[in-house]
Amino acid sequence: MANNSEVRVRFAPSPTGDLHVGNIRTALFDWAYARHTGGKLIFRIEDTDKERVTDEYIQAAIQSLKWLGLDWDEGPEVGGEYGPYLQSERLDIYSQWSQKFLDQGDAYYCYCSSEELEERRQVQMKNNKAPGYDGKCRDLSDAQIEQYKSAGRKPVVRMRMPNGETIFTDLIRGEVKFEHEFVPDFVLARADGSPLYTLAVAVDDVLMKITHVLRGEDLLSSTPRQIRVYQAMGLTPAQYPVFAHLPFVMGQDNAKLSKRNGEVSINWYREHGYLPEAICNYLALLGWSPGDDKENISMTELVQLFTIERVNSSPARFDPKKLEAINGDKIRALTLDKFLEWALPFLIKEKVITGTPEEIAIVKSALPIIQERIITLAEIPAMLNFLFVKDFVVAPDELPKIKDEGSQQVLMVALAKIEPLSTWNHTSIEEVLRSALIDELGLKPRIAFSALRIAVTGSHISPPLFESLELLGKERSIARIRAGISK
């Protein structure tokens, strides 16, 4: 299969929760490689563990990929000639191959109980031997088999590993070798007939004509087992899929990324206002480089530039601050219409607006003045709330900052200067306020405008002051300044 002219890669998660950063980085590399080579991305769900992989999680995985813009050529909702693409719908296929391996002598029934396996494992460890199956049921006599059956034991199906070694060339790590003495006979199917990962993944890769397997480094050690299944299916080494094991994604503490050292759920980033293109841009840089120290790339550029040769074998460190910076850059690059499209759901969710045409028009007017100031979309509601709140009050923790004598003087002078204005726009507002507060009172801008900002927006963090006053309108602006003075 590796010499197939068409590249076929697969993303095959086992979603037991929201897809996390590591899952998505793998999906992104699969997608980019398929698109770069003109090949196909196959999206497959490993859902044989029905207790942990629920329909809800499967749908969430599908929606996450759609939201990120990682489309697939075969899989759920798309179909394809090698389906079905949920492993739970392929159980008969695995059962047939399991039986075929038994008939060929490549596999055998193992009657060892879990208690017996654990007991022998403890002995192995006590004797400083690598723990693993010791081959007890490899060559049972008919009488021994009958005895186990009479005792009511239900066997698992176990693959027979030959003596020797498995050698393969990893596109990222070069030649990799596993001695079979450290790869014991492994289970293909449980006693109830359900397949284990190694059987299902290898059978699916062969039947779906997968040519390249890009996946996490944590699965490297399972490769000799998969290759053993390929052999039992009748493939020659030239027909195996080519492997490329991607580097680990580490947290800031150099431990494997987890909730303890960095948020890992993609849905968390979605809900907290990160753009899909920013997430993809940043994850692409975890273990891969476009060259020339380039960091801000579009999805189109990623497709053009992505090659496995540029993937590093060293672990990559996930830096939330770097992701924030890229997200801010992507927000600043949005057109006004796109920015509005992304902003509205956050404003509606936080009940800042209901979504009327009048409200949307105000939001559209306000967005340009905050576009340079935010790093996530989730900051928008707090930034624009002052324009829509009906019963406006200054935040309690901000109130002391406008009660001192200096602040009260600023508010009174500002009120006296802007009240007579006949033209209400940010240019005229800025002109009279700078003249009065900076030139005449001799105040520094930060001190001159801080109290005014709090009185008008309710917070010292807000959009640009003069534009905020213009958007708020003269009547409401003056009312809020007066209220600030009375307090």
CATH number at residue 368: 1.10.8
Average pLDDT over residues 57-70: 96
Annotate the chain with three-state secondary structure: CCCCCCCEEEECCCCCCCCEHHHHHHHHHHHHHHHHHCCEEEECECCCCCCCCCHHHHHHHHHHHHHHCCCCCEECCCECCCCCCEHHHCHHHHHHHHHHHHHHCCEEEECCCHHHHHHHHHHHHHCCCCCCCCCCCCCCCHHHHHHHHHCCCCCEEEECCCCCEEEEEECCCEEEEEEHHHCCCEEEECCCCCECHHHHHHHHHHHCCCCEEEEEHHHHHHHHHHHHHHHHCCCCHHHCCEEEEECCEECCCCCECCCCCCCCEHHHHHHCCCCHHHHHHHHHCCCECCCCCCCCCCHHHHHHHCCHHHECCCCEECCHHHHHHHHHHHHHCCCHHHHHHHHHHHHHHCCCCCCCHHHHHHHHHHHHHHCCCCCCHHHHHHHHHHHCCCCCCCCCCCHHHHCCHHHHHHHHHHHHHHCCCCCCCHHHHHHHHHHHHHHHCCCCHHHHHHHHHHHHHCCCCCCCHHHHHHHHCHHHHHHHHHHHHHC
Q: pLDDT tens, 111-122?
A: 999 899 999 999
Output the CA torsion sign for 143, 144, 148, 151. Answer: positive
Show the tokens assigned to 14.
């086992």
Query: What integer pLDDT is reported at residue 326 of this predicted model?
Result: 97
**Is the per-residue pLDDT at 274 higher than 60?**
yes
Most confident of 396-405, 413-422, 441-450: 413-422
Q: pLDDT tens, 42-54?
A: 999 999 887 888 8
Average pLDDT over residues 108-133: 90
Q: What percent of the chain has pLDDT over 70?
A: 98
Query: What integer pLDDT is reported at residue 347 of this predicted model?
Result: 98
Q: Are residues 144 and 207 in the same domain?
A: yes
Q: Which of 66, 129, 259, 487 is catalytic?
A: 259
In a domain? residue 476 = yes
Contact present, 379 and 273 (Cβ < 8 Å): yes
Q: Please indicate if the annotation marks 280 as binding a ligand.
A: no
Confidence grade of residue 261 (pLDDT, cut at 50, 70, 90): low
Q: Which residue has the tokens 């693409």?
A: 85
In a domain? residue 373 = yes
In a domain? residue 259 = no
Q: Which of 454, 451, 355, 457 lies closest to 412, judged by CA?
A: 451
Q: Are residues 382 and 404 in the same domain?
A: no
Show the tokens assigned to 483.
């209220």
Query: What integer pLDDT is reported at residue 4 of this predicted model?
Result: 53
**Is the per-residue pLDDT at 28 higher than 60?**
yes
Q: Are residues 440 and 343 in the same domain?
A: no
Query: What integer pLDDT is reported at residue 69 of this predicted model?
Result: 97
Contact present, 94 and 199 (Cβ < 8 Å): yes
For the chain, give the mean pLDDT.
93
Q: Which of 456, 263, 465, 475 lies closest to 376, judged by CA?
A: 263
Confidence grade of residue 447 (pLDDT, cut at 50, 70, 90): confident
CA dist 110 and 390 (Å) reads 72
Q: pLDDT tens, 238-256?
A: 999 999 999 999 887 777 7
The pair phi, psi for residue 162, each rounded to 5°, is -75, 165
Q: pLDDT tens, 366-387?
A: 999 999 999 999 999 999 999 9
CATH number at residue 208: 3.40.50.620
Q: Please indicate if the annotation marks 139 as binding a ligand.
A: yes
**Is the per-residue pLDDT at 3 higher than 60?**
no
Q: Are residues 354 and 445 in the same domain?
A: no
End-to-end CA, the chain: 77
CA dist 136 and 119 (Å) reads 13
CB-based contacts of 27, cutoff 8 Å, min separation 6: 11, 13, 19, 65, 68, 70
Confidence grade of residue 471 (pLDDT, cut at 50, 70, 90): very high
The pair phi, psi for residue 105, each rounded to 5°, is 85, 5
CATH number at residue 480: 1.10.10.350
**Is the per-residue pLDDT at 262 higher than 80?**
no
In a domain? residue 215 = yes
Last residue of one domain, picked from the residues 227, 246, 265: 246
Cα 362 from chain centroid? 33
CA dist 375 and 332 (Å) reads 9
Cα 380 from chain centroid? 22
The pair phi, psi for residue 409, each rounded to 5°, is -65, -45
CA dist 326 and 378 (Å) reads 15
CA dist 71 and 334 (Å) reads 22
Confidence grade of residue 445 (pLDDT, cut at 50, 70, 90): confident
Q: Are residues 426 and 358 in the same domain?
A: no
Last residue of one domain, picked from the residues 352, 386, 420: 386
Active site residue 129: no
Q: Are residues 341 and 403 in the same domain?
A: no
Domain hosting residue 372, numbered range: 335-386
Query: What integer pLDDT is reported at residue 348 of this predicted model?
Result: 98
CA dist 223 and 216 (Å) reads 12
In a domain? residue 210 = yes
In a domain? residue 307 = no
Q: pLDDT tens, 291-342?
A: 888 899 999 999 999 999 999 999 999 999 999 999 999 999 999 999 999 9
> For the chain, what's the residue count?
487
Query: What integer pLDDT is reported at residue 140 of this predicted model?
Result: 94
Per the structure, the count of domains in the chain is: 3
In a domain? residue 380 = yes
CA dist 240 and 249 (Å) reads 27
Q: Are residues 112 and 219 in the same domain?
A: yes
Q: Are residues 480 and 367 in the same domain?
A: no
Query: What integer pLDDT is reported at residue 486 of this predicted model?
Result: 76
Last residue of one domain, picked from the residues 246, 271, 302: 246
CA dist 221 and 168 (Å) reads 12
Q: Are residues 468 and 381 in the same domain?
A: no
Q: Are residues 233 and 132 in the same domain?
A: yes
Confidence grade of residue 161 (pLDDT, cut at 50, 70, 90): very high
In a domain? residue 50 = no
Q: Are residues 429 and 481 in the same domain?
A: yes
Q: Are residues 110 and 132 in the same domain?
A: yes
Show the tokens assigned to 445.
């801008």
**Is the per-residue pLDDT at 259 higher than 70?**
no
Query: What integer pLDDT is reported at residue 204 of this predicted model?
Result: 98
